[in-house]
Structure 1
Amino acid sequence: MKKRTLIALAAVLMTAQALPVAAQSKGPIRIGAVLSTTGPAGYLGDPQLKTLQTYLAQINQDGGVLGRKLELVHYDDASEAGKANGFAKRLIDDDKVDLLIAGTTTGATMAMAPLVEKAGIPLISLSGAVVVVEPVKKWIFKTPHTDRMAAEKVFEDMKKRGFTKVGLLSETSGFGQSGAKETRTVAQKYGITLVADETYGPKDTDVTAQLAKIRGVSGIQALFVFGLGQGPAVVTKNAAQLGMNLPLYQSHGVASNEFIKLAGKAAEGVRLPSPALLVANALAANDPQKPLVTSYAATYWKQYKDEPSTFGGYALDALMLSVSAIKTAGGTNKEAVRNALEKTKGFMGTTGQFNLSVTDHMGLNLSAFRMLEVKDGGWVLLK
């Protein structure tokens, strides 16, 4: 009798200990986000948050993931990279999130990187610089094209048009600095000589001094601006005010209708590399991205009565990659989700087709970029 009682008691204790685990496995999947929804990069981060909120609600309405609801816990770093690390620590230690979709800007992502690597939690970044994924970091992935790819795509177009002497004007943000470095690195490959190389601050309200210096360079044929948020719009308006007739190229850091709104008529003729989203309706009927980008555009418009941006598309891709990885992993075990992300193949997103690997935590190639131009106040595919 005593032996049977002890066995029964042990069974009760084991059941009691298992209850929290079972309850936890049926609890929500917690996704943490640190985004720049205000400040100079606000027009990048705002559509990212709206996209995550819209699609999380849609996924939950359809039954969630593996029978579990998704829960979003988010913080605004106000476009200040220094705040990102503290918010990431809060998400990991206090909010107990299962994974992170975080880092509107490169600076924010890199501020979080050491903490994320130490904690061992998957992070999908929404920032553009190549430094996010090169060298490869075990726990960090990204959805936007890199700054190096942007420079290569721009130089492809310049080479086609016979531009060989180019001015570079880059932002002193993390994205701008990395972009300038990559631009300098790949210029020679395309037969481009950078005859001017100037910088501006992300919060500068006037850049005419730098532009006047660039304009005075003998033989200059085009200007390439590398920045994000509001700064490039200031540059574009200042260039028009100075009467600069140089062809003006921007990076994918301003691939948004908001850039045109901020720059106004001065944006006319600006060229840049962009994901397909900005010209969704102009894509060929057989384009493999058309169904996805047109669906996203319609969903975003219905919810917010506004055009979607490529930055929101980066968030959508990050969310769907996360959902796919969780399903593949069969749960939220961080190592299993990380491994599933790294093995993703043939995943079609708004940004392009993702094929990730041990050596590539982005998984996009140059064909995922489209060259666009502002014409009559809107984006058109550049021929």
Structure 2
Amino acid sequence: MAHTTLSHLVTLSSSRFSRLGHSTRFLRKPTPLSPVPLTGDGFRCCCSAATDEPSPSPSAMKRVVSGVQPTGSVHLGNYLGAIKNWVALQDTYETLFFIVDLHAITLPYDTQELRKSTRDTAALYLACGVDISKASVFVQSHVRAHSELMWLLSSSTPIGWLQKMTQFKEKSRKEGGENAAVALLTYPVLMASDIVLYQSDFVPVGDDQKQHIELARDLAQRVNNLYGGRKWKKLGGRGGSIFKIPEPLIPQVGARVMSLTDGLSKMSKSAPSDQSRINLLDSKDLIADKIKRCKTDSFAGLEFDNAERPECNNLLSVYQIVSGKTKEEVIEECKDMSWGSFKPLLADALIEHLSPIQVRYQEITADRAYLNKVLSDGADRATEIADATLYNLRQAMGFYMRDSSD
């Protein structure tokens, strides 16, 4: 991807999309979820199975959706925990990746910065290797069905489910309780809408996001029970399930990259210190300085999976991923190293890995028309799927349909 020209990248694989037949796909009774080969290395899910069968045709591909908020700079945790893994999925699955700008307004934000960050995040998706001939890339707010589906799902969501969400408890406390926006409570419904809107089979998530996937699964099943089956058929629909029940897809390595200043806390955009994270667009000198200053311990040698050494495990895991080495190779290489020897090694590996991404990012952002076309085409593609889902749900919920013959 990093060496592909802009003119080539802007050519969407329209023939591939047209033969998928998505405008009518969800008007038919869905087939039960069946095991599918998971050929992207380093992923696991409860319904994957190894097989020697050839790759499925586009129409038979399972669908994966995922997104990242545009608030703050995209950092190493976003990249290794999400975006890098997307690249491994796009050959095996039909993929939709979007910038979740609607989620970015649940807390106070800068309006000018939101616009810029949305554009920058989209450019970084592409610079990191997301290939628009295989994946749809778009901005969440450009597909209005996200907001409408959230409202429809909200009518079936018990408020007790939302009050139990861990992130709501944490963030509302920081915002001062009663001063917190309603959106902070209800945004998990929007996240569920993001997933079920596209009839997703799998959702790549870190371990800390599994609670949100469970909510999406519970909501999808609840709506299926309330409005699907024979009740929907009596209203003129096809009957059966309205939504697929999505499965989490969790990378075995790099699912949760921790802070450089605290090995027990996740690397985060919202952390007050920029020293706690490596941003994808950090300069070489800044990366080297952050690694030099990052928190370590006083134990001899380096090792994985020691609960007393969270920072050591985190830094070795990062090195393993960006160097492309196996865990066993890293253990053998680093077991007798001191921090003074390992930190420059890690910094060099990070710089080497991120440098092509930074170069590609500069090329993409220099061509605004190209990026706008990518996002417009991606939104059009996503809208086709989303509108079919919304049509079915409106019908099943008993709304008087536009141009209805009743």
TM-score (norm 2): 0.27
Larger RCO (CA under 8 A, 6+ residues apart) = 2
Greater Cα radius of gyration, structure 1 or 2: 1
Q: Which is richer in strand? A: 1
